[in-house]
């Protein structure tokens, strides 16, 4: 209003001329921008939902017909089209202008026209830690004959086929149901590089190439791919340049490889969770990025190839998009995979410990958080006064001997991030071991130690919380300590004129004195898209995991440590392959239920509660690890499962208020939402999550007996604090004629103000099985009523 008051005093005719000129100028600029946007072709996915028939050639022809109707000719269609999706669902990827995309979106049978988006990527001890020791004859591993003939599909950065982890010793013929193949490409010969272990290897890059508008290995292309590493070299084939895909594939289904270690640390036998499973590699990630067009094509081909499980260590950043939305096509691809009986396992993300950062939250996928294992690498720190303190490192080779210790006092004007900002210009570190305090999580200090060593420093002692995730510093004289130990070292430094320190090589320690944590980087719930759907579902080892890698510096012997939910995801994928081997008739939902209801909530060896790392270490809750830490041996015999059909997921989409026409195309069924829409709370998940309880709520669950035919279960309720939970009936009797029983859960609150989430559980037990589901409830009372 003050601005308008000033304008009123200006000569209005002069102002009118200027306003008219500006209006014409802006209109001209806007028109040019609109014209440019309409003329610029970008990669779009034309999604058409479930297939109408099984003739794939006819489906592809219909895609060209549709595209030709907009572009004007079959030739233009052929030039524009990138992929035809025709096996698990119908659709295609093509280069289109905005105007062309809109024209196609208006055509009958088209669900969505979606711009292609980018996605990012997110073991010698871990399997023994989970109870799947190869020396134990009674566990799930041996009952399934090591996962024999299960097929694990891995969407990732490809594979290094020469790794010994992909040898096919002891494997029989390739399963006859397998419909895939190995694709020839740069430095990848199907005859030499594929075998009875590595039965499929494909690569999908046309979506990325079309998005860049440049041919492979062009200047622009190489600049894009080498953004992370100037020496990065990519292969136009299924061969892995990054190491990430090789690591995840070998974790899920790698063969036995004895005497593996890194610098004599973590010495043992490397193998995957299902060492006799077959691997099908779908390379969709290039220099850490993948396009939705390429990912969707990989899903389409994997469905055709008849894989049993799909492992995806990738995802989108928050904010999340709805499952039926136009932007996150992992939802679409995974929905069709699950509809075809394929279990889809996805990473939860690496944005923890911040709440509501979990992604891949569709209820039909298994979303995996990351935990530590019972392995540590204690590293002695000897001070000049003959006192020895302990830290954590992956330091191997010769010890430093006694050398100078240096700590640079921070002035009041210096940043709290002084430690992280050390550069090669800090020559005061030369010839000394640097003591440093940081408020940054330890995994983000790789450049710091590199700069210190380049500046002539001999090593670092870093105070950090947590003091783990050491994989980036393997071999380096870089030791993490907690703040208490660091303060003791600082006191020694300040009280001596010539302080000395000696860093000794790390050792490997395994046992109950190394407790289990949910890793600090693991993304946390609650689910920001659909708060009533618990995510993550489960946790698995994902910190400092040793597995196969490309032969790069730090992995000269072909094995390397790595951390992330990318590493925890293939642990669950391998376990799913084992379960699929022993229970081939189980649905993806039944497998997911078996994992969640049997998970550990306490450390497998000490019995102490599993903790969650963060700013403050706490006892882990369902938003940290879902049902808990995966327990494969119990999952093989869960007693009861909470099963779901694809129709149930359709009802969920309806209850979320999504467009019914889009849902109809997704499922290829009319009137998907015509019946009474069920509550999201009634989706038959192995969890109960109520984000806004005020009045009492009744919800329903159904359990299916997969144990002894004649069995009886009673309910054990541990309600969240301040919450009342009543189950009716609270006693279930199964017989040859009664295999499924539904029950009602009534939840009410005694709180009178809005609260945080509180947690409890509902367990069914027959004296042999304990079928536990987590309960998460927040009481919410609106502060204002309009």
Catalytic residue among 87, 112, 117, 244: 244
Catalytic residue among 566, 568, 593, 655: 566
Per the domain annotation, does 784 fall within a domain?
no
307 and 171 in a common domain: yes
Average pLDDT over residues 203-225: 74
pLDDT at 133: 73
Share of the chain above pLDDT 90, in %: 58
**Cα 9 from Cα 31, distance rounded (Å):** 33
Give 212 or 83, the one with higher predicted confidence. Answer: 83
Q: CATH number of the domain at 434, please.
A: 3.50.30.30
750 Cβ contact partners less than 8 Å away, ≥ 6 residues apart:
722, 723, 724
Q: At 562, which helix (H) or strand (E)?
A: strand 559-562
Per the domain annotation, does 668 fall within a domain?
yes
537 and 492 in a common domain: no
Share of the chain above pLDDT 70, in %: 85
CB atoms within 10 A of CB 401: 12
pLDDT at 64: 94
CB atoms within 10 A of CB 759: 19
Per the domain annotation, does 508 fall within a domain?
no
> CA-CA-CA-CA torsion for 605, 611, 617, 620, nearest 10 degrees?
-170
Q: At 105, which helix (H) or strand (E)?
A: helix 98-105
Counting beta carbons within 10 angstroms of the beta carbon of residue 422, is it exposed (0 to 12), middle (13 to 18) or buried (19 or more)?
Answer: buried
What's phi and psi for 13, nearest 5 deg? Answer: -70, -40
Residue 247 has pLDDT above 60, yes or no: yes
Q: CATH number of the domain at 733, please.
A: 2.60.40.2310
- Last-in-domain residue among 95, 115, 135: 115
**Cα 509 from Cα 487, distance rounded (Å):** 25
- Last-in-domain residue among 65, 80, 115: 115
Based on the residue annotation, tell me whether 672 is a catalytic residue of this protein.
Answer: no
246 and 134 in a common domain: yes
Residue 626 has pLDDT above 90, yes or no: yes
Catalytic residue among 149, 156, 305, 624: 156
Question: How many residues can be counted in the chain?
Answer: 786
The total of structural domains in the chain comes to: 5
Average pLDDT over residues 568-579: 96
Place of tokens 């869960």: 638
Are residues 33 and 62 in contact, defined by beta-carbon separation less than 8 angstroms?
A: no
Are residues 275 and 253 in contact, defined by beta-carbon separation less than 8 angstroms?
A: yes
pLDDT, the chain, mean: 86
Q: Is the peptide bond before 752 cis (omega within 30 degrees of 0)?
A: no
106-125: buried (b, 16+ CB within 10 Å) or exposed (e) per residue?
eeeebbbbbbbbebebbbbb
Comparing CA positions, the residue from 332, 323, 331, 280 lying closest to residue 301 is 280
**Cα 7 from Cα 36, distance rounded (Å):** 35
628 and 714 in a common domain: no
Per the domain annotation, does 463 fall within a domain?
yes
Average pLDDT over residues 556-583: 92
**Cα 370 from Cα 291, distance rounded (Å):** 25
Average pLDDT over residues 227-254: 85
66 Cβ contact partners less than 8 Å away, ≥ 6 residues apart:
46, 104, 107, 109, 110
111-141 pLDDT tens trace: 888 888 777 666 446 767 677 777 666 788 7
Per-residue tokens: 668: 């290829």
Per-residue tokens: 222: 């190489």
470-485: buried (b, 16+ CB within 10 Å) or exposed (e) per residue?
bbbbbbbbbbbbeeeb
537 Cβ contact partners less than 8 Å away, ≥ 6 residues apart:
366, 367, 368, 592, 595, 596, 626, 627
pLDDT at 381: 95
Q: How far apart are the first and last CA of the chain?
A: 29
Per the domain annotation, does 786 fall within a domain?
no
Give 466 or 581, the one with higher predicted confidence. Answer: 581
CB atoms within 10 A of CB 273: 31
Residue 30 belongs to what domain range? 2-36
Per the domain annotation, does 289 fall within a domain?
yes
Give 35 or 539, the one with higher predicted confidence. Answer: 539
123 and 21 in a common domain: no
List, as one string, the DSSP characters of 678-729: PPGGGS--SSEEEEEE-S-EEEEEEEEE-S-SSEEEEEEEEPPTTEEEEEES
pLDDT at 215: 65
353 and 417 in a common domain: no
pLDDT band, residue 27 (cuts 50/70/90): very low
Q: CATH number of the domain at 50, please.
A: 3.30.70.80
> CA-CA-CA-CA torsion for 241, 245, 249, 251, nearest 10 degrees?
110
**Cα 740 from Cα 505, distance rounded (Å):** 58
pLDDT band, residue 375 (cuts 50/70/90): confident
Q: CATH number of the domain at 198, please.
A: 3.40.50.200
CB atoms within 10 A of CB 420: 17
239 and 347 in a common domain: yes
24 Cβ contact partners less than 8 Å away, ≥ 6 residues apart:
none
pLDDT band, residue 20 (cuts 50/70/90): very low
185 and 273 in a common domain: yes
476 and 422 in a common domain: yes
pLDDT at 261: 77
Are residues 712 and 694 in contact, defined by beta-carbon separation less than 8 angstroms?
A: no
Comparing CA positions, the residue from 303, 376, 382 lying closest to residue 337 is 303
- Last-in-domain residue among 616, 635, 654: 635
pLDDT at 58: 93
Based on the residue annotation, tell me whether 128 is a catalytic residue of this protein.
Answer: no
Measuring CA to CA, how many Å separate 721 from each of 334, 526, 686, 760? 36, 18, 20, 8
495 and 387 in a common domain: yes
Based on the residue annotation, tell me whether 244 is a catalytic residue of this protein.
Answer: yes
Residue 442 has pLDDT above 70, yes or no: no
Per the domain annotation, does 760 fall within a domain?
yes
132 and 98 in a common domain: no
Average pLDDT over residues 38-56: 83
Comparing CA positions, the residue from 639, 440, 410, 626 lying closest to residue 535 is 626
- In the 8-state DSSP scheme, what is residue 598? T
324 and 207 in a common domain: yes
Give 413 or 99, the one with higher predicted confidence. Answer: 99
3-state secondary structure of 56: helix
**Cα 745 from Cα 693, distance rounded (Å):** 14
Q: Is the peptide bond before 655 cis (omega within 30 degrees of 0)?
A: no
Per the domain annotation, does 7 fall within a domain?
yes
Q: Are strands 151-156 and 309-312 parallel, antiparallel or unpaired?
A: parallel
Report how far Cα 85 is from the mean position of its chain's Cα atoms. Answer: 24
pLDDT at 31: 37
């Amino acid at each position: 209003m003050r601005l308008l008051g000033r304008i009123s005093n200006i000569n209005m005719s002069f102002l009118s001329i200027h306003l008219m000129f500006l209006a014409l100028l802006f209109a001209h600029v806007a028109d040019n921008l609109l014209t440019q946007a309409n003329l610029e072709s970008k990669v779009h996915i034309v999604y058409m939902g479930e297939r109408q028939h099984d003739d794939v050639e006819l489906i592809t022809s219909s895609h060209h017909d549709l595209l030709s109707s907009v572009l004007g000719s079959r030739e233009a269609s052929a030039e524009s089209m990138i992929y035809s999706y025709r096996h698990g669902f119908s659709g295609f990827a093509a280069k289109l202008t905005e105007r062309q995309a809109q024209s196609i979106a208006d055509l009958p049978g088209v669900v969505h026209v979606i711009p292609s988006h980018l996605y990012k990527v997110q073991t010698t001890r871990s399997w023994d830690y989970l109870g799947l020791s190869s020396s134990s004859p009674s566990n799930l591993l041996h009952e399934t004959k090591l996962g024999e003939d299960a097929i694990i599909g891995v969407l990732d950065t490809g594979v290094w086929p020469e790794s010994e982890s992909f040898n096919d010793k002891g494997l029989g013929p390739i399963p006859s149901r397998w419909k895939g193949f190995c694709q020839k490409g740069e430095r990848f010969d199907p005859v030499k590089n594929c075998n009875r272990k590595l039965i499929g290897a494909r690569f999908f890059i046309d979506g990325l190439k079309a998005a860049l508008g440049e041919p492979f290995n062009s200047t622009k292309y190489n600049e894009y791919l080498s953004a992370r590493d100037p020496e990065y070299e990519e292969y136009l084939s299924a061969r892995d340049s990054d190491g990430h895909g090789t690591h995840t594939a070998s974790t899920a289904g790698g063969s036995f490889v004895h005497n593996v270690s890194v610098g004599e640390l973590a010495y043992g036998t490397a193998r995957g969770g299902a060492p006799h499973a077959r691997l099908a590699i779908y390379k969709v990630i290039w220099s850490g990025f993948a396009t939705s067009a390429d990912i969707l094509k990989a899903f389409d081909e994997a469905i055709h190839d008849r894989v049993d499980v799909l492992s995806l260590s990738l995802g989108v950043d928050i904010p999340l998009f709805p499952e039926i939305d136009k932007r996150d096509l992992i939802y679409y691809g995974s929905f069709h995979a699950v509809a075809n009986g394929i279990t889809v396992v996805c990473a939860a993300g690496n944005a923890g410990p911040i709440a509501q950062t979990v992604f891949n939250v569709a209820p039909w996928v298994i979303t995996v958080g990351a935990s530590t294992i019972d392995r540590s690498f204690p590293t002695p720190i000897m001070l000049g006064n003959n006192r020895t303190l302990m830290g954590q490192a992956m330091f191997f080779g010769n010890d430093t001997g006694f050398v100078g210790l240096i700590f640079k006092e921070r002035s009041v004007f210096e940043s709290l991030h002084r430690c992280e900002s050390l550069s090669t210009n800090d020559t005061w570190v030369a010839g000394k071991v640097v003591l440093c305090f940081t408020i940054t999580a330890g995994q983000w200090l790789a450049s710091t130690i590199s700069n210190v060593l380049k500046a002539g420093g001999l090593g670092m002692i870093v105070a950090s919380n947590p003091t783990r995730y050491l994989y980036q510093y393997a071999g380096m004289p870089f030791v993490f300590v907690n703040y208490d130990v660091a303060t003791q070292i600082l006191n020694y430094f300040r009280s001596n004129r010539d302080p000395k320190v000696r860093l000794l090589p790390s050792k490997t320690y395994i046992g109950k004195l190394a407790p289990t944590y949910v890793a600090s980087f693991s993304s946390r719930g609650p689910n920001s898209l659909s708060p009533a759907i618990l995510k993550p579902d489960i946790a698995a080892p994902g910190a400092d995991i040793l597995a196969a890698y490309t032969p790069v510096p730090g992995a000269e012997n072909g094995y390397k440590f790595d951390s992330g939910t990318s590493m925890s995801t293939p642990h669950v994928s391998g376990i799913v392959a084992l379960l699929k081997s022993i229970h081939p008739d189980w649905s993806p939902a039944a497998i997911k239920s078996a994992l969640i209801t049997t998970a550990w909530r306490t450390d497998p060896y000490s019995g102490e509660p599993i903790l969650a790392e963060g700013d403050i270490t706490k006892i882990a809750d369902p938003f940290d690890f879902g049902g808990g830490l995966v327990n494969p041996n119990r999952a093989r015999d869960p007693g009861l499962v909470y099963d779901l059909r694809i129709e149930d997921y359709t009802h969920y989409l309806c209850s979320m208020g999504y467009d019914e026409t889009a849902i109809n195309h997704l499922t290829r069924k009319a009137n998907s939402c015509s019946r009474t829409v069920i509550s999201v709370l009634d989706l038959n998940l192995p969890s109960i999550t109520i984000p806004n309880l005020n009045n009492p709520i009744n919800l329903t669950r159904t359990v299916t007996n997969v144990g002894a035919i004649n069995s009886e279960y009673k309910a054990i309720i541990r309600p969240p604090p301040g919450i009342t939970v009543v189950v009716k009936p609270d006693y279930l009797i199964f017989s040859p004629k009664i295999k499924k029983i539904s029950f009602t859960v009534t939840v009410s609150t005694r709180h009178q103000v809005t609260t945080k989430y509180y947690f409890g559980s509902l367990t069914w037990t027959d004296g042999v099985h304990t079928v536990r589901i987590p309960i998460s409830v927040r009481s919410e009372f609106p502060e204002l009523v309009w």
